Amino acid sequence: MADTVISIKDAVVSYREDVALRGVSLDVIAGEFVGIIGPNGAGKTTLLTVVNGMGKLLSGRVTVLGDSLRSGNGRSLRKRVGYVAQVDNIDPRMPMDVREVVMIGRFGVLGLFRRPGKSDWQIVDEMLELVGMTHLARRPIGHLSGGEQQRVAIARCLVQEPELFLLDEPTASLDWKAQSEILELVKEIHNSRKLTTLFVTHDLDALPHTCDRVVLMKDGLIVDDGPPDQLISTSSLSQLYDLPESVVEARRPHMHVKE
Amino acid sequence: MDFSIFGYQFMQNAILSAFLGGIACATVGVFVVLMHMPFIGVTMSHAAFAGALLGLWVGFDPLIGAFAFSLVAAAIVGPLADRGELSPDTSLGIIFSLMLGVAFLFLGLMPGTKSSALELLWGSILTNTRGDIILLAVVAVVVVGLVVIFFKEIQATVFNRNIALSVGLPATIILYGVLFLTGATVTASLRSIGGLLIFSLILNPAAAAYQLTYSMKWMFILSAIFGVLSGWVGLLVSYLLDVPSGATIVITSSVIFIIATVFSPKRKVRHWKEESLADE
């Protein structure tokens, strides 16, 4: 039987008065590529932060990579989970170059008091090559375009040598070309490194065709979960995004949606 | 010109204090600049001033009061910066004005002459004692030592705290450590530079270094050099013009910042961007 690497049972997470997750349960098996879609505010990012130990559970149980998540063990878990967060504005004057930013991914694995050695820099250079950023390795990080910064974020995540690959809206605010290149890259990395991937997006155009499974979220709940061919239909999207079916139909040629 | 004054013990103490205080303040300043929290530093330096005045009024060592108050300020502003719950500028503005109000309340309540209190406001590096220098030396060594030991953790945290947390680094502890170091540095430099002026010596050298380099390591080194230079040139100007040294030190640091900004290679990036926009 395949290994379950993520097991979430009745997770409830709340930020002040807003309940971000209202009793979510999800099991993910090793090697799966899961797309999590839903409108803004559905709880998708919160679900990822629960998996990497940064979200604080009000109730429920989360087991990730065999460890039950408690308040004290989030940090050790995060070293094994690669997380590509949503694009943040980077100060153009930030005194760090691309190579140094990618190296941050090794810091948790290295632990306190240990400096990066030759082998760590070698891993950084390999990952920069993998994401096609070797030519910009010495460029100040703030001088990159959105798509380039996202490639750096993916390289930073990979130098961690993670077992889980979490991506939060990795293609948001990117142009069409950068978006399709990042999707291609993520797909390739997932397959070649045999990772378990959770890919969050609110944009169906960005949903990788290769998802083994799609989870639909709305208002802090998982409303559906299954293979993309069965789930992503005009009627399910109409309900998910509160749009009339005619509007979903009109947009369909641009989306990977069956009738 | 008569430079025999530099042979006197009090002047040598002042030169040493400017060196140590310059390094400590400028190093802490790098965090303040890179973590975009200049208001936190202002708030803490005024809290330290209020604490020192309480010490003077009640009759205990002003430096203990300064340290205690800056730690209290760190305990209040830390969670604000950490969680981002309120608009930090608004809440820090309230704490800052409260600390200033408390400081002037203590000043008003204090019986007798206020000269020692005013010294804490403007600073008097020329009256620094051996004890002041030892305190400055301890703080400078601790600040620089921690930066060297935890450079990679600091580098990740100032780049992006959430990313540092997500790779398994203790970014929250680093943030509170930075606030604690800021409090300790402000306290140790209070008597030399003064509560109203200390913050410029924290901010200006680091802001100047920020204009000149894309390397964080060099930013720390340049900032420390500018901090020491501000202290020494400020002392010299103070002696030559016979004006208060705290003021000349701070003005020198501001001049260094202006020069660095004018000659900043980073401005070229902006020009280049502006040109390419104009072409479109």
pLDDT along chain A (259 residues), means of 10: 85 81 93 91 91 87 88 80 85 93 94 91 94 93 90 93 92 80 88 92 72 90 86 78 80 53
Domain ranges within chain B, ordered by starting residue: 4-197
Instruction: Say if residue B3's pLDDT is above 80.
Output: no
Q: How far is the alpha carbon of A220 from chain B, nearest alpha carbon, in Å?
A: 21
Q: How far is the alpha carbon of A69 from chain B, nearest alpha carbon, in Å?
A: 14
Q: How far is the alpha carbon of A31 from chain B, nearest alpha carbon, in Å?
A: 21
**B213 neighbourhood in chain A, CB within 8 Å:** 95
Range with top average pLDDT, A111-120, B237-246, B250-259: B250-259
pLDDT at A1: 47
Give me the residue from B155, B167, B266 closest to A93, CB to CB.
B266
- Give the chain A residue whose CA is nearest to the CA of B34: A94
A221-226 sheet: strands from edge to edge: A81-84, A164-168, A196-201, A33-37, A213-218, A221-226
Q: Does residue A48 form part of some domain?
A: yes
pLDDT at A252: 62
Interchain contact, A78 vs B165, CB within 8 Å: yes
Express as a percent the part of chain B with pLDDT over 70.
92
Amino acid sitting at position A119? S
Q: What Rg do the C-alpha atoms of chain B give, in angstroms?
A: 19
Q: Does residue A193 form part of some domain?
A: yes
Interchain contact, A95 vs B216, CB within 8 Å: yes
pLDDT at B158: 92
Interchain contact, B210 vs A97, CB within 8 Å: no
Average confidence (pLDDT) over B247-265: 93
Q: Does residue A114 form part of some domain?
A: yes
CB pairs under 8 A between A and B: 82
Q: Are B19 and B231 in contact (CB under 8 A)?
A: yes
Token pair 């970014």 is found at B171
- More confident call, B216 vs A175: B216
pLDDT at B236: 92
Q: How far is the alpha carbon of B19 from chain A, nearest alpha carbon, in Å?
A: 25
Q: Are B257 and B204 in contact (CB under 8 A)?
A: yes
Number of domains, chain A = 1
pLDDT at A255: 52
pLDDT at A64: 93
Phi first, then psi: what are they for A233, rounded to 5°? -125, 165
pLDDT at B169: 92
B161-190 per-position pLDDT tens digit:
889 999 999 988 998 898 889 989 998 888
Q: Does residue A62 form part of some domain?
A: no
pLDDT at B84: 60
- Give the chain A residue whose CA is nearest to the CA of B209: A95
Q: Are B209 and B30 in contact (CB under 8 A)?
A: yes
A positions 32-71 inside 8 Å of B (CB): 52, 54
Residues B114, B118, B119, CA angle at the centre, nearest 5°? 120
Mean pLDDT for all residues in chain B: 86
Interchain contact, B214 vs A97, CB within 8 Å: yes
**B162 neighbourhood in chain A, CB within 8 Å:** 54, 85, 88
A59-64 sheet: strands from edge to edge: A18-29, A4-15, A59-64, A67-68
pLDDT at B85: 55
Point out the least confidently predicted range of A107-121, B192-206, B212-226: B192-206
Instruction: Say if residue B55's pLDDT is above 70.
Output: yes
Helix (H) or strand (E) holding A128: helix A118-130
Check if A97 contacts B (Cβ < 8 Å): yes
Check if A96 contacts B (Cβ < 8 Å): yes
Domain that holds residue A215: 32-53+75-226
Instruction: Say if residue B88's pLDDT is above 70.
Output: no
Interchain contact, B167 vs A88, CB within 8 Å: no
Interchain contact, B219 vs A75, CB within 8 Å: no
Average confidence (pLDDT) over B266-278: 55
H helices within B59-170, ranges in order?
A: 62-83, 88-109, 115-122, 130-149, 151-159, 161-166
Instruction: Say if residue B276's pLDDT is above 50.
Output: no
Tell which of B157, B167, B267 to mutate to test the A interface (max A CBs under 10 Å). B167
Phi first, then psi: what are they for A20, rounded to 5°? -85, -35
Give me the residue from B36, B160, B165 closest to A88, CB to CB.
B160
Give me the residue from A95, A104, A113 closest to B163, CB to CB.
A104
CATH number of B4-197: 1.10.3470.10
Check if A101 contacts B (Cβ < 8 Å): yes
**Structure-block tokens of residue A259:** 């009738």
CATH number of the domain encompassing residue A42: 3.40.50.300
pLDDT at B64: 92
- Give the chain A residue whose CA is nearest to the CA of B207: A93
Other C-beta atoms lying within 10 Å of the C-beta of residue A176? 9
Q: Does residue A36 form part of some domain?
A: yes
Q: Does residue A100 form part of some domain?
A: yes
Closest CA to B190 of B30, B34, B68, B80: B68
Give me the residue from B150, B159, B218 closest to A101, CB to CB.
B159
pLDDT at B25: 94
pLDDT at B272: 47
Q: Does residue A240 form part of some domain?
A: no
